Amino acid sequence: MKPVAIIGGGITGLTAAFKLEQLGISSTLFEAADRVGGVIQTLRDGEFLAECGPNTILETSPLIGDLVRDLGLEDRRIYSSDQAEKRYIVRNKRPFKLPGSPLEFLLTPLFSYRAKARLLLEPFIRRAPSEMEENLASFVQRRIGREFLDYAINPFVAGIYSGAPENLSVREAFPRLYALEQRYGSLILGQILGARERRRKGGVSRKNAPKFSFDEGLETLIQSLGEKLKKNIRTGQTISGITRKNGSWKVKSDTDTSRPDEEYSGVLLALPAFRLAELQVTCESRKVNLSMLSHIEYAPVASVVLGFHRKDVEHHLDGFGALNPEVEKLHSLGTIFSSSLFPGRAPDGQVLLTSYIGGLRAPHLVTKTPDEICDLVIEDLRVILGVRGEPTFKRTCFYPRAIPQYDVGYGRFKQFMTSLEQDESGLFFAGHCRDGVSLGDCIVSGHEAAGRIATNLNIST
């Protein structure tokens, strides 16, 4: 059997290649960069261990744990500390713990008494028509009020999408919220009743999903996949086009023209949308135009990892981190307390903080120099966390197009990719522009894409 070509060596493509290998299907993975893993990159600098991209994986699906087990990484997996369940939201430039129980909700100063009373009306708010596509801001204001939009949903969205609630589609970006309202008529009732269904299916809500990394950071996962698949991987390969003729596929590489006649049984495209839009696709002499995917907006983000002496940080750092609502008019989107999440992230007597800046809230900030961005973040940290002194460690990473925005109308892009899969035998799509933006989503996407490929090739999964 001819191998499958996988274009894109991020976590989605790597997961798909590994799953295909388990199913006895060979693959060749093409990656334009000189390394696989995409935004997952861990930096070891002395006793500091910094994540340049994502910091954790949410174990929302059993498939994620299966991947860790199958790679033999269970002994190296580290779950976040119990205190990481505590999250802070900034209000009046002070971090307040997000309530974790009904009693804490009643007592918290994070929300006003008026906002708390307004929440009691939520079960009695009529559901929206199922055919209506609503933006998240409108949905939240309608169901639970403006204050929850400003001080709960807005910072939450900044933490996931670095986007704007006024643009994001509830149905596409937060399908569980949409489903809760449609099925139960209430978010509160849906959270209670929906939990039973998730337990039956083996799924876990994002709120309750365990968070984990590895002893040497998330790049441990990439290194293990890379080692298992090293004979399949070709880095430094910029793919400009794919062609199907007489039922077989060929891949055109702009950087390696030595093997133009290699044929493949199928092609999995695990690329960001802006790369897909540039790809030339020809199926049996018919050109397939992917340029519409260039209309998918991406949020620019810079991550800033800073180390400080513990005595120079007033806050207890007893939690996952702090999110900054837009109405607080701070520079950064939020900060993860990295050394509080996992051991071995900072030297004794020091702490490590990872902040994010930019997004659609302030995309211009990502164009500043690393020193300018660090200064803006430190300014926020002095106000919010009581940071004094100068950082002992600094690292800034830029992602000009980091996260696709599942805005109102995004369904047309997903339907376009699904229709092409159905119409063009052997062509498949997966990744964050189709199946969700989190690392967990991308792992599941790669796994499921491998299953679709196996079905197409009439191989039992």
The predicted model gives 434-442 an average pLDDT of 97
Contact 1, 26 (CB under 8 A): yes
Would you state the pLDDT for residue 342? 96
Contact 52, 303 (CB under 8 A): yes
Contact 11, 23 (CB under 8 A): no
**Arithmetic mean of pLDDT over the chain:** 95
* 298-404, CATH topology level: Polyamine Oxidase; Chain A, domain 2 (3.90.660)
Lowest mean pLDDT among 105-109, 124-128, 198-202, 374-378: 198-202
Would you state the pLDDT for residue 166? 97
Per-residue confidence at 172, pLDDT binned at 50, 70, 90?
very high
Would you state the pLDDT for residue 81? 87
Domain 4-40+220-295+407-456: CATH architecture, name and number where available: 3-Layer(bba) Sandwich (3.50)
83: DSSP letter: G
Would you state the pLDDT for residue 198? 59
Burial class from Cβ neighbours inside 10 Å (0-12, 13-18, 19+) for residue 92 reads: exposed
Has residue 257 got a pLDDT over 80?
no
Would you state the pLDDT for residue 201? 59
Would you state the pLDDT for residue 258? 67
Would you state the pLDDT for residue 83? 80
Per-residue confidence at 203, pLDDT binned at 50, 70, 90?
low
Contact 37, 219 (CB under 8 A): yes
Has residue 105 got a pLDDT over 60?
yes
Positive or negative, the CA dihedral 335, 341, 342, 345 is positive
Lowest mean pLDDT among 185-199, 305-319, 341-355, 416-430: 185-199
Lowest mean pLDDT among 97-111, 138-152, 246-260, 265-279: 246-260
Has residue 202 got a pLDDT over 60?
no
Would you state the pLDDT for residue 461? 66
Has residue 85 got a pLDDT over 90?
no
The CATH 1.10.3110.10 domain(s) of the chain lie at: 111-201
Model confidence pLDDT, tens digit, residues 312-367: 999 999 999 999 999 999 999 999 999 999 999 999 999 999 999 999 999 999 99
The CATH 3.50.50.60 domain(s) of the chain lie at: 4-40+220-295+407-456
Would you state the pLDDT for residue 207? 67
Phi, psi of 430 (to 5 degrees): -160, 165
Would you state the pLDDT for residue 195? 67
Would you state the pLDDT for residue 190? 87
Per-residue confidence at 209, pLDDT binned at 50, 70, 90?
confident
Would you state the pLDDT for residue 208? 73
pTM, to two decimals:
0.94
Task: Please give the CATH number for the structural domain made up of 111-201.
Answer: 1.10.3110.10
Per-residue confidence at 256, pLDDT binned at 50, 70, 90?
confident
C-alpha separations of 92 from 28, 215, 281, 335, 445 in Å: 53, 37, 53, 17, 40
The CATH 3.90.660.20 domain(s) of the chain lie at: 298-404
Model confidence pLDDT, tens digit, residues 439-448: 999 999 999 9
> For the chain, what's the residue count?
461
Backbone torsion region of residue 86, taken as left when φ is above 0, otherwise alpha when ψ lies between -120 and 50, otherwise beta: beta
Burial class from Cβ neighbours inside 10 Å (0-12, 13-18, 19+) for residue 192 reads: exposed
Would you state the pLDDT for residue 115? 97
Model confidence pLDDT, tens digit, residues 394-415: 999 999 999 999 999 999 999 9
Does residue 208 or residue 17 have the better pLDDT? 17
The predicted model gives 418-442 an average pLDDT of 97
